[in-house]
Amino acid sequence: MLSKFLPFLTWARRYTRADLGNDVIAALVVTIMLIPQGMAYAMLAGLPAQAGLYGAMLPLALYAVFGSSPALAVGPVAVVALMTAAAAGTVAEIGAPGFHLAALWIALLSGGMMLALGVLRLGFLANFLSHPVISGFITAAGILIAASQLRHLLGANISGKTLPEVIPSLAANISGLSVPTLLLSALVLAFLFWSRTGMARLLVHLGMSAPLAKLLAKTALLVAVVGSTLLVWGLGLDQRGVAIVGDIPRGLPPLGLPEFDLSLIQILAAPALMIAIVGYVESVSIAQTLAAKKRQSIDPDRELVALGLANLGAGVSQAMPVTGGLSRSIVNYDAGAATPAAGAITAILIGIAVLALTPLMFYLPRATLAAIIIVAVVSLLDFRALPRTWAYSRADGAAMAATMAVTLLIGVEQGLLAGVGLSLFLYLFRTSRPHMAVVGQVPGTEHFRNIARHAVVTDPTVFSIRVDESLYFPNARALEDRIMQALADSPDLQHVVLQCSAVNYIDASALESLEAINDRLRAADVKFHLTEVKGPVMDQLERSHFLHELTGKLYLTQFDAMKSLAPDVTGPCLQAARCDSRLSAI
């Protein structure tokens, strides 16, 4: 029972020496990525470099205890960093003391919300963020992240949170760029992009085994960091306009709740909720993908609890908000992480780095961190998703396009809200105009299909209609109108049969519509029948008077109804040959 809440009790009992070896190797590789990425994402979030490093310590340790995914690498990630910068930017300027305070409260609030949603098992609410919306959002966020790094890559004073702010600022300030910074950025970017494929190939060419070469290629970030730091220090580039990271406090983060400020919390609650949801959705989809590869499964609600605790940990240890990151998780998985202990070992390694290595990072150029961010977000961009989604479904495509456009032009929170709102609106709009099919018997079977799409047999005295939607208030009237029209069009009509195979729910408005249909058909001396009513719908109808007032009958199947109402047509048609003559007649 306890192990349900503390998954580590399960795996810790069976932990072997081989597991430890695998976990240490994975942790080493992840740490080498995480030190530069953590500092880079802290810069992206507008926070001091140590906030990123601290975000890779206590939160990782907490996730290792409460999380269920062995492969998920928790820590600072780009999209959450961008959202944090946007939210904290509404209460303070970057660099002002209130800014870091706001980021801590965002971590605490989103952590608390994740924890509450997980405990209440409300993780499914995150499903309201549809795939097209999240995919469009991530691509747009990637573009904004890249744009936000132009100031560091060029060494020019470019600002702005959305494209309409960044582009004029770029045009106005491009002339003030720092040539040494630009050259350094170009060098680091070229090396990092080359390293993604070329480095492993070169190492193999030099005689190394392929798996080792692939693993060593992951040190490219470290090579870039060390190389560019040495370059700046050796050539004194910091005196020539190249911005550097500077002092990073040595030692472990102080623990404690940040200063309490109710008005701050009220402002940050809504963005914190969005950060919680985006962070959760990203993290859980990575964890599920990696779990599926090993035929394992993860419990989304438990993931929420673990991520919530990780963020609460971030909030009390001067760290930035965290979640599961795609690139590091894949590296973690590929490097063979066996259990969540890999995360705990990573946290220890980062702690050692913070205790020992921070003075070495003094001359680390900010341009290198910006280049690391650029390389990371390029993999987030998926421009082909929009045409692909649009081709499949106009509604999904529109939601995706709206999310991207609003995110790029107005802001990240507004973009997400626009996407979710439009998705829901378009769904409701669709259900308010349901597809209805007049059906007939497929010859030789007991099956009934749309007369407009299949060669089927019908009887002029029976109007059989299938409505392809639950009957509820936005569409209650549509069925009424369709049946009244059929009544006006068919002088021989004696029976109207409503096939309810696609009706999953009948609300009170629709019940009134059915009663109205029944009354009006009764007045015209036409009977009203229902077929294939599902169990839950039947339970509901039995709580009303409708079934007593129904002029016709309830049939288990459409075939039963037709056998009884139009026996001359329906029975013989079970033998396909016998109804071919009828088919040709319609």
Q: Scanning residues 98 to 157, which ones bind its own copies (CB under 8 A)?
A: 124-125, 127-133
Looking at residue 358, its amino acid is T
Rule CB under 8 A: choose which of 167, 183, 292, 577 binds its own copies. Answer: 292
Residue number, 275 or 510, with CB nearest to its own copies: 510
Q: CA-CA distance, 448 to 499, in Å (whole number)?
A: 9
- Smallest gap from Cβ 294 to its own copies, in A, equals 11
Q: Are 416 and 403 in contact (CB under 8 A)?
A: yes
- Smallest gap from Cβ 418 to its own copies, in A, equals 15
Rounded alpha-carbon distances, angstroms, from residue 10 to 20, 59, 309, 317, 405 = 15, 20, 19, 28, 46
Q: Based on the shown chain and the rule CB under 8 A, indicate whether residue 575 belongs to the binding site for its own copies.
A: no
Rule CB under 8 A: choose which of 258, 501, 553, 572 binds its own copies. Answer: 501
Residues near its own copies (CB under 8 A), total: 71
Q: CA-CA distance, 460 to 497, in Å (whole number)?
A: 12
- Smallest gap from Cβ 510 to its own copies, in A, equals 9
Ranges within 175-214 binding its own copies (CB under 8 A): none
Q: Are 73 and 332 in contact (CB under 8 A)?
A: yes
Q: Are 303 and 284 in contact (CB under 8 A)?
A: yes
Provide the token pair at 291. Answer: 């779990």
Ranges within 304-343 binding its own copies (CB under 8 A): none
Q: Based on the shown chain and the rule CB under 8 A, indicate whether residue 491 belongs to the binding site for its own copies.
A: no
Residue 562 CA from chain centroid, whole number: 47
Which of the ranges 10-18, 112-120, 319-327, 555-563 carries the binding residues for its own copies, by CB under 8 A? Answer: 555-563
- Smallest gap from Cβ 138 to its own copies, in A, equals 14
Rule CB under 8 A: choose which of 401, 509, 522, 572 binds its own copies. Answer: 509
Residue number, 5 or 429, with CB nearest to its own copies: 429
Alpha helices in 490-566, H assignment, sequence order: 508-523, 535-541, 546-549, 558-565
- Smallest gap from Cβ 71 to its own copies, in A, equals 17
The contact pattern for its own copies, residues 374-403, with x = CB under 8 A and - = no contact, is ---------------x-xxx-xx-------
Quick one: which H or E segment has residue 443? none
The contact pattern for its own copies, residues 237-256, with x = CB under 8 A and - = no contact, is --------------------
- Smallest gap from Cβ 575 to its own copies, in A, equals 13
The contact pattern for its own copies, residues 514-553, with x = CB under 8 A and - = no contact, is --x---x--xx---------xxx---x--xx---------
- Smallest gap from Cβ 274 to its own copies, in A, equals 17
Q: Of 175, 145, 154, which is closest to residue 37 (Cα–Cα)? A: 145
Residue number, 220 or 386, with CB nearest to its own copies: 386
Neighbours of 489 (CB within 10 A): 9
Q: CA-CA distance, 156 to 176, in Å (whole number)?
A: 6
Name the β-bridge partners of 407.
Answer: none
Rounded alpha-carbon distances, angstroms, from residue 336 to 29, 92, 293 = 10, 42, 13
Q: Are 26 and 295 in contact (CB under 8 A)?
A: no
SS3 letters across 228-244: HHHHHHHHCHHHHCCCE
Q: CA-CA distance, 222 to 36, in Å (whole number)?
A: 7
Rule CB under 8 A: choose which of 120, 251, 505, 564 binds its own copies. Answer: 505
- Smallest gap from Cβ 414 to its own copies, in A, equals 20
Residue number, 366 or 529, with CB nearest to its own copies: 529
Using CA of residue 480, residue 484, residue 490, residue 492, what is the dihedral sign?
Answer: positive
Ranges within 467-486 binding its own copies (CB under 8 A): 468-470, 472-478, 484
- Smallest gap from Cβ 132 to its own copies, in A, equals 5
Ranges within 57-86 binding its own copies (CB under 8 A): none
Q: Based on the shown chain and the rule CB under 8 A, indicate whether residue 296 belongs to the binding site for its own copies.
A: no
- Smallest gap from Cβ 547 to its own copies, in A, equals 12
Looking at residue 557, its amino acid is T
- Any residues with CB less than 8 A from the CB of 257 and at least 6 apart, and which? 108, 315, 316
Residue number, 269 or 502, with CB nearest to its own copies: 502
Q: Based on the shown chain and the rule CB under 8 A, indicate whether residue 432 belongs to the binding site for its own copies.
A: yes
Neighbours of 580 (CB within 10 A): 15
